[in-house]
A and B are shown apart, each in its own frame.
Chain A
């Protein structure tokens, strides 16, 4: 069984966001936040803003060259009363601000404003007023920090982070009502302009759930998500859905706790997705998957049953290939099998000497006689 962690580590360094992209996300958000705070009209009604989405959950993958710019989601929590303000009005309130700071660079969408910066696109999603308790939490460092959950050591969602270690979120649920615990029950409301209604969303629950899972998997969960997401986008892009967050959520639901390597995380996630929805697929149906914090939302709402069936077939095939790669004892063969699955971004093993593999020979001691001398120095002298 070969887990070849350095191969996965190098693969991930090629598919996750670059440090330049991360810096752009942070700068983009930081600038926006500052401008909002200083704006005479918006300043008074904006509680705070924070980064959400795959960037924040450390599950973002590098966009491919033709995929356009990196999308970064920003939630702007306001004091607007959703009973007094329509979704359209709520969005419109930002127009003068956008004109002033992002002229010709913004576009209205169904639930958000898209702001185009040089290398990223900010998706500005306003919310209505939450309760006092949640307002307090939103302003806390655990929410407004720019670090994603992989970077922020010991991250947890409460008012005191990053002070000394506190009980986990799950344990906090069991405690009596505290300001920090109330946020669980309270999603945020965001405008749906087309439907003319306010919708619920719970990015904090998504972030917290991902963080918990990642801790339970020794940090390998988000890595497994990135590997599978990148595979889906580059190797099996059809059918179009499910991808992005729905795919990530499926992995969250199916990846077992306690995995101790990225390789195992990938194999087991794929296998469990395959096993757990076999019956649905056999009946030509798709499961409904409640989202974190907003159980009424079905993560797979946008996915047709036909697409899900096709998707399930891809996963089943990938699961078999991943299992073969994982079970392979010979580390070089294993690397090659993973590379067959993931593509060229996954590093290639060093070449074998000669064309035939030595049959029955387990991983060798490492020295392979070379045909040509690639060394210098053995036969040249000049000093001493």
Chain B
């Protein structure tokens, strides 16, 4: 676009005038527009009581957007007079672009950690006078904490150093919990060959599925859900090391030389291990190298998890090369001389723990629900929504049964899409669920309930939680006569006309208590049937007259979401008597004002 700005705005001027009143901060020049980064840039000095790695005065560049006080504000160390090493809460501090006068080690000022706030907790202000000054006050706090080694304070959530890499789109996935922590701590084998697969054919993710020793004998197999097949698309070396590899104060090794030094200090000879199995990796491809080490959840706490940090090795020598014999020895020599030299930069890869407890942090149902095997009978509109929410929120075993095929008219309130029209709902919903949760296993049964095949009967009877989403009395009858082989937690979820009412029924029993359900729901159904007689039911298409039940996606999603909450709560309560919960939409002067309980 090439936007050029001549003069800083009044807001920017106001912002930097406010810096005059900070006795620890001194400006060198005025705002300058840098077209290459499209930011306004100011160079300043911040003074603290120097100690440790922090001198008394450090120079900084602050970058602001033209929309200040909105937009982004970032602080980077000056190449001249700024910090050169990397600390916690800082991006990897390399010199970066030679045309820019600041290094890349942007400092993180926004975490609400006790170590950064010496006064009462305050949110970032967005007025012209305050925002820039706030960032500088925070920078001073950051520097004071850095100088005293307080950036990572006991009790703060643990953070890994920033491992810089060239390719930001690829991710390595692993699956670690406290059980596997115990395994690794006890396991004497500490290096070998790992096998990776692309989950759901996603070439941007490599999930570790197997750890083998140097003789290619598997010592650990990793189980995810159905989306992560157990086949080896890629292999690479793995090495277990005693602790996080870093250079003081908190800088990731960035070259092979630095890595060797750091690992050497941890008594790990990475070269020896690597070249022992390098023969398996000589195929002209980049293989991932895994470094596994224990980490705590909080600074100062004992280690509790293993983290597998990956990096892509350069292509190891193979084929014919001038000056080197085409033997393992020749290749190794060439690798040492040309490929894995001390100066070779490391290409770290984003590495993430895909264990359910880690990836559902944004929102999960209780373990009580997530750990159960669940059967969803009927994956029409309501059933597909309920199944989707259960899958995303961490449930690990879901079985589905439904005889229907998807029609275009279903789309107004289903979770499937045009590409699935004409296919069985149950298999397409099942496939979709697998993509939502890597740890989920799905069984899809095409047909009416109860199924006929023995294996399908076994699958169904093995489920612990049964959720009926058919709104069919016939199905409820079948549920009351089916041999469930054990006590189950039954739910029946349905909505009333136009999804204005939600009915959630729960019972813990050996079979579904059909008459109990009917008794409880009848008054509501009857009252509703009096209300709807005036409305005409919509039809669809030409042919056999088949009234549709009108309900929009937004009404259904709202009810499905409430149903999830009820299911979670009722399952945990496990009341011996059956329960019917009814929720209904509230209107005032024909305007929607909310959903309230009709049974509490």
Interface residues of A (CB under 8 A from B): 2, 4-7, 9-10, 13, 19, 331-332, 335, 347, 349-350, 362-367, 369-370, 373-378, 384
Contact = CB atoms under 8 A, between A and B. Distances in A.
A349 B21 contact: yes
Given A331-B21, A375-B126, 17 more contacts: A2-B20, A5-B20, A331-B20, A332-B21, A347-B14, A349-B17, A363-B21, A365-B22, A365-B23, A366-B21, A366-B136, A366-B140, A367-B133, A367-B137, A369-B122, A375-B123, A377-B124
B130 A374 contact: yes
B16 A366 contact: no
A369 B17 contact: no
Interface stretch (B24-32, B56-64, B146-154, B273-281): B24-32
B126 A350 contact: no
A375 B21 contact: no
A126 to B, nearest CB: 37
Contacts of B7: 13
Among B6, B22, B134, residue most surrounded by chain A Cβ atoms (within 10 Å): B22
A316 B24 CA distance: 35
B13 interface: yes
A175 to B, nearest CB: 37
Contact of B119 (A2, A331, A369, A374): A369
Top 9 A-B residue pairs of the complex, sorted by shortest distance between their CB atoms: A366-B22, A375-B123, A350-B129, A363-B23, A366-B137, A378-B123, A367-B137, A331-B21, A6-B17
Given A10-B13, A366-B133, A374 B126 contact: yes
B120 interface: yes
Contacts of A373: 123
Among B13, B20, B25, residue most surrounded by chain A Cβ atoms (within 10 Å): B20
Interface string B353-393: 00000000010000000000000000000000000000000
Interface string B14-50: 1011111111110100100000000000000000000
Contacts of A364: 21, 23
Contacts of B403: none
B481 interface: no
Given A6-B27, A367-B119, A350 B362 contact: no
Contacts of A366: 18, 21-22, 24-25, 133-134, 136-137, 140
A365 B24 contact: yes
B51 interface: no
Contacts of A13: 7
28 contacts: A5-B20, A6-B19, A7-B17, A10-B17, A332-B21, A335-B20, A347-B14, A347-B17, A349-B17, A350-B130, A363-B21, A363-B23, A364-B21, A365-B22, A365-B137, A366-B25, A366-B137, A367-B119, A367-B122, A367-B137, A369-B119, A369-B120, A373-B123, A374-B125, A374-B126, A375-B126, A377-B123, A384-B362
Contacts of B125: 370, 374-375
B19 to A, nearest CB: 8
Contacts of A369: 119-120, 122
Contacts of B25: 366
Contacts of A6: 13, 16-17, 19-20, 27, 30
B127 interface: yes
Contacts of B119: 367, 369
A235 B52 CA distance: 53
A362 B133 CA distance: 17
Contacts, number: 78
A374 B6 CA distance: 29
Contacts of B137: 365-367
A331 B119 CA distance: 23
A10 B126 CA distance: 21
A10 B9 CA distance: 11
A9 B7 CA distance: 12
A223 to B, nearest CB: 13
Among A9, A364, A369, A374, residue most surrounded by chain B Cβ atoms (within 10 Å): A374
Given A331-B21, A384-B362, A376 B140 contact: no
Contacts of B6: 19
A375 B125 CA distance: 5
B316 to A, nearest CB: 39
B126 A376 contact: yes
A325 B140 CA distance: 28
B86 to A, nearest CB: 26
Nearest to A329: B23
A362 B24 CA distance: 12
Among B119, B123, B137, residue most surrounded by chain A Cβ atoms (within 10 Å): B123
Contacts of A7: 17, 20
A350 B21 contact: yes
A384 B124 CA distance: 20
A384 B362 CA distance: 8
A19 to B, nearest CB: 8
Contacts of A367: 119, 122, 133-134, 137
Nearest to A6: B17
B388 to A, nearest CB: 17
A51 B285 CA distance: 70
Contacts of B27: 5-6
Nearest to B16: A6
Contacts of B21: 331-332, 349-350, 363-364, 366
A208 B242 CA distance: 73
Contacts of B16: 6
Contacts of B23: 362-365
Contacts of A362: 23
A9 B30 contact: yes
Contacts of A349: 17, 21
A10 B15 CA distance: 12
Contacts of A384: 362
Nearest to A351: B129
A5 B16 CA distance: 11
A375 B21 CA distance: 21
Contacts of B130: 350, 370, 374
B17 A374 contact: no
A375 B123 CA distance: 7
B20 A374 contact: no
Contacts of B19: 6
Contacts of B123: 373, 375, 377-378
Contacts of A374: 125-127, 130
A18 to B, nearest CB: 11
A332 B22 CA distance: 10
Among A6, A332, A347, A378, residue most surrounded by chain B Cβ atoms (within 10 Å): A6
A100 B20 CA distance: 55
A349 B362 CA distance: 43
A320 B70 CA distance: 41
A359 to B, nearest CB: 17
B540 to A, nearest CB: 34
A191 B158 CA distance: 84
Contacts of A363: 21-23
A377 to B, nearest CB: 8
A369 B21 CA distance: 15
A346 B6 CA distance: 21
A377 B385 CA distance: 30
B18 to A, nearest CB: 6
Contacts of A375: 123-126
B354 to A, nearest CB: 17
Nearest to A4: B20
B65 to A, nearest CB: 16
Contacts of B18: 350, 366
Contacts of A370: 122, 125, 130
A123 B98 CA distance: 51
Nearest to A349: B21
Contacts of B30: 6, 9
A335 B20 CA distance: 10
